[in-house]
Structure formats: structure tokens, C-alpha cells
Structure 1
Amino acid sequence: MTPRSILIVEDDKDLRESLLDLLVIEGFSVVAAGNGEEALQVLRKGGSFGLVLLDIMMPVMDGVAFMHAFENEFPHLIGTTPIVVLSVLAGQVHLPDWVTDAVAKPTSLDKLVELCERCFYTLH
């Protein structure tokens, strides 16, 4: 795993690129995927991340389907790789117990950076 590495899974291109730019400026190593299937492909190719920021509503493969596939394909990462749901549906969708946090969009960029920092400080 690359220190302070984040996988962003977000279908909104503008938001995805803004998050990527912000987190890189804050010193994180970031890879972005446009949907759950793209994120799984990154992980299958050996991508290793200290945190996953996950949207729920996405085309091709939504966040709920991604979480099921993640749990089935990468059970060794459950509990060691924080998953933070970042979605307008945060609090409205049943999430697995192993999801670290759920944050409603929109959220302030400062709050998001603080959450990322906390995930790395607490779990790594």
C-alpha cells in the first residue's frame, strides 16, 4: 500500500477531478474511478489503497454492488482498508457494518480532508 493512498469512486467527473486535485494538494496519492466496476479493475490489477471514498449512485456498478463485490473478492481488506461512503444517500441506504463512515454530499472540503486524515491516523 502506498502511504496516504486514496481510491475515489465517483461518477460525477467534475466532482471526481476536484476531489482528486484537492487531495493531491493535501499530500495524498490518489487514483480515481468513474464507477464501481472501474474501481474493481484497479484493485484487481494490484492497486492498494489506505482509503476508499465511495459514491452510491453510479452507472455501470453502483456503490452497493461495489461493496458486495469488494467483500467477496477482497475479504482480507475488510477492516484494514477504510471505506467512506460519500453520497447524497448517506444515511438512507443500509451499509455493511465494516463501512467506516458515511458522509452526506455536499460536504465541505475541509471536513472531507479532516475525515481522510482521521482515517489514516486512526487505522494506519
Structure 2
Amino acid sequence: MAKNKILIVDDDSRNIFALSAVLRAKGYHCVSATGGQEGLDLLAEDRDIAVVLMDMMMPGMDGYEAMAVMQTDPLLKDIPVIAVTAQAMVGDRERCLSAGASGYVSKPVNVEELTGLLNLYI
């Protein structure tokens, strides 16, 4: 059972590609979804996912909505979510954390900061 599996949820395939490449090079196994609902579906199917990297601004179900659904599901509520967002305004970090995120990184992602956060949960 691979407990170093990370689910990347982002509507931009370039972000998924870049994050996956960097994280795979560091020994993590990555799966991805391009929207909140697809991410929830993957979490329901794959019990090996240890951490979710969640883009907050996506069409359809955004990261805030997806985290709200995760909070209400007994099988998903304990999976740490790291908010990954281009929103770096005052209050955005707090908004993400109060919505249920375990951590927060802004885009462009600082890889050392991200892996430091991941190491807290994996």
C-alpha cells in the first residue's frame, strides 16, 4: 500500500504536469483530477491517497466546495488537503485553512515549501 500517493486536483493540466514531475522526482506517486468532483470520485475509489493538493479556483466544483464535501464524509475527512492557489492576497491563507485545508502554498509553488508540508503528512 503506497502511502506516499498524492492526488493533485487542478483544472490546468500544465500545473498537474509540473507538480507531478517535481514530486515524482522526489519519490512520490501522483494521481490527478481536473476538477473537484473528479477529485472526490478518485478519493472514493483509491484508499491509498495520503494527501490532496487542491487548486482552490476551478470551474464547476472548486476547491472550497470539494473540501466541504470531504469534511462531511467519514472516509475522507481525515485526509490532509494542502491548498495550492494563485490567490496570495491577505486573508486567502486563512480562508483556505478555515475551509478545512491542512496547509497552504501559493503559485508559483515553492517546491521546498511544498515538500516540507508533504513530509508532515506522509
Which TM-score tier does this pair reach, normalised by the shorter chain? 0.7 to 0.9
State the Cα deviation string for residues 72-92 of structure 1 (Å, max 9, x = none): 2x23432x3211101022542
Which amino acid is 2:62 matched to? D
Q: Tell me, yes or no, if structure 1 residue 30 matches structure 2 residue 30.
A: yes
Question: Which of these residues, 81, 84, 87, is aligned with residue 86 of structure 1?
Answer: 84
* Inter-partner Cα distance in structure 1 for 2:75 and 2:16: 27
1:21 CA drift (Å): 1.4
* Inter-partner Cα distance in structure 2 for 1:99 and 1:19: 18
Q: Following superposition of structure 1 onto structure 2, how do residues 1-124 of structure 1 map, counting pairs within 5 Å?
A: 2-72=2-72, 74-78=73-77, 80-89=78-87, 91-92=91-92, 94-95=95-96, 96=98, 98-120=100-122
Paired positions, count = 118
1:57 CA drift (Å): 0.4
TM-score, normalisation: structure 2: 0.83
Unaligned runs of 5+ in 2: none
Kindly indicate whether the alpha-carbon contact (under 8 Å) linking 2:52 and 2:80 is maintained by their aligned counterparts in 1. Answer: yes
Kindly indicate whether the alpha-carbon contact (under 8 Å) linking 2:80 and 2:101 is maintained by their aligned counterparts in 1. Answer: yes
TM-score, normalisation: structure 1: 0.82
Identity of aligned residues (%): 31
Flag the 1:68–1:98 CA change in 2: closer, same or farther, 3 A. Answer: closer
SS state at 2:49 partner: coil
* Inter-partner Cα distance in structure 1 for 2:95 and 2:10: 19
RMSD: 2.0
